[in-house]
Structure 1
Amino acid sequence: MSKLLIPLVFVILQLVTVKGWTGEIHGRVVCDVCADDSVGPEDHVLQGAEVAVLCITKSGEVLNYQAFTNSRGIYTVAETMPESERWDACLARPISSYHEHCTHLGDGFSGVKFSYNYQSGYSHAVKPFVYRPVTIPMYCA
């Protein structure tokens, strides 16, 4: 009797198992030193910048994530959940730059909305968020 029960339990467990889904969102935060909207040798990444990512799942749940950039200016948000609860649409927006010389958010960089239609294991790259200095250095003129 136990020989029949073990395969039956295994089949039931396979039917009950929920298929998992993993997603990732990442991006970069930079300082546009000359405020010229182009990347040059004077520009640099911002470590410790704060970014918020708000996602709505397929079931309508709202998830709010907070991330900080690493030494390469990159932030990452990742989540593993059931396939039925996966992200549907997200909004990434910069919150603050803690760099003492580069604290003003560049024009048009208040946030990025996007649909998240990726299969499990894939990631979405958000365009860089750009901060500018309070005063532009003389060598930029």
Structure 2
Amino acid sequence: MITNRLKNMAMSVILLLFFAFGGSIAWTGEIHGRVVCDVCADSSIGPEDHVLQGAEVAVLCITKSGEVLNYQAFTDSKGTYTVAETMPESNCWNACLARPIGSFNEHCTHLGKGSLGVKFSYNHPSGYSHTARTFVYRPTDIPTYCI
């Protein structure tokens, strides 16, 4: 009796997933990256640099069907942002653009060179992720110990 209930529940879940995704197989993708404060503005990550919590990043993706999806993410305490999506496999991401929007750190607000954004193809199978290049902000005033 319990076996029949489990079979019925499993079949219900399968049917629900089937109808939720229009009869196609679900696909899941993820994009993540980091945002760092380059304290000495020397274009290298060193011990004086630190991650930026609360920095805003926009991720724009175009799906295989041509739909444009716009995501907004904020970095966590480790300076990492993450965007993830589950959709029908036939409509998964094809190409994306990640770009920094702003840093809310009062000392590190100027976008570093080469951090305007990064375009990339997204051709990963379901369940995989893409790591975008690290975005760098610099302080308005460089500390004297850096000079």
Same fold (TM over 0.5): yes
**What pairs with 1:85-100 in structure 2 (closer than 5 Å)?**
85-100=91-106
Distance (Å, rounded) in 2 between the aligned partners of 1:119 and 1:27: 19
Counterpart in 1 of 2:6?
none
Kindly state the Cα deviation for residue 17 of structure 1 after the two structures are TM-superposed: 3.1
2:32 matched to which residue of 1?
26
Superposition deviation, residue 108 in structure 1: 1.4
Residue in structure 2 matched with residue 133 of structure 1 by the alignment? 139
Q: Residue in 1 aligned with 2:4?
A: none
CA RMSD of aligned residues (A): 1.5
Aligned residue for 2:127, secondary structure, equals: coil
Larger radius of gyration: 1
After TM superposition, the structure 1 = structure 2 runs for residues 65-84 of structure 1, keeping only pairs within 5 Å, are 65-84=71-90
CA distance in 2, matches of 1:40, 1:87: 34
Amino acid at match of 1:111: G
Q: Aligned partners of 1:38, 1:54: CA distance in 2, in Å?
A: 27
* Cα distance in 2, alignment partners of residues 38 and 105 from structure 1: 14
Aligned partner of residue 89 in structure 1, secondary structure: strand
> Residue 31 of structure 2 aligns to a residue in which SS?
strand
Q: In 1, distance between residues paired with 2:58 and 2:46?
A: 27
- Structure 1 Cα separation of the partners of residues 44 and 35 of structure 2: 14
Q: In structure 1, what is the equivalent of residue 69 of structure 2?
A: 63
Which residues of structure 2 form unaligned runs of 5+? 1-10
Give me the whole-angstrom Cα distance separating, in 2, the residues matched to 1:135 and 1:21: 46
State the 1:41 CA deviation. Answer: 1.1
Using the alignment, how far apart are the partners of 2:78 and 2:44 within structure 1? 18
4+ runs deviating over 3 angstroms? none
Q: Name the % identity.
A: 76
Q: Does 1:36 align with 2:42?
A: yes
Matching residue's letter, 1:81: M
